[in-house]
Amino acid sequence: MGGLAAVEPSLALAVSQPDERKAMLRAFKEQQRAAAAASLPLPKADLAALFDHLDAELTEAECDDTLRFTTRFLTERGLDVERVTGWLRGAGGYCDCEVLANVEEQWEGGP
């Protein structure tokens, strides 16, 4: 029995370490999501609506390698076009189709 008692504390430690690491990883990811959400230059609802708008527009027309649909959407909503398009470019969205391919992918299920 003495051998079993000596193993039990190490088993408890082995079990708690992965749980602690998972908890720390979850907390880190939550901090990243919160920081990313705070950096958004527009409300999350508008960002989601932009993605929906681009999906619809690009079903009807091809991307012309500009942000024409994005710019029109932002202008119609009274949003800061320069600030938002700068942020989109920083996230890999240099044209309307790249906003969907690169930016939307980053934000699906995100902040």
* Alpha-carbon span 84 to 82, nearest angstrom: 6
3-state DSSP helix/strand/coil percent for the chain, to nearest 5?
75, 0, 25
Residues 40, 88: Cα–Cα separation, whole Å: 10
DSSP codes joined into one string, 91-103: TT-SSHHHIIIII
pTM of the model: 0.69
> What is residue 24's predicted lDDT score, i.e. its pLDDT?
83
Domain ranges of the chain: 1-39, 44-107
Query: Quick one: pLDDT at residue 34?
Result: 72
Task: State residue 105's pLDDT score.
Answer: 86
How would you write the pLDDT of the chain (111 residues) with one tens digit per residue? 555 455 555 555 555 677 888 888 888 777 777 776 777 899 989 999 999 999 999 999 999 999 999 999 999 999 999 999 999 999 999 999 999 999 998 877 555
For 70, phi and psi rounded to 5 degrees?
-65, -50
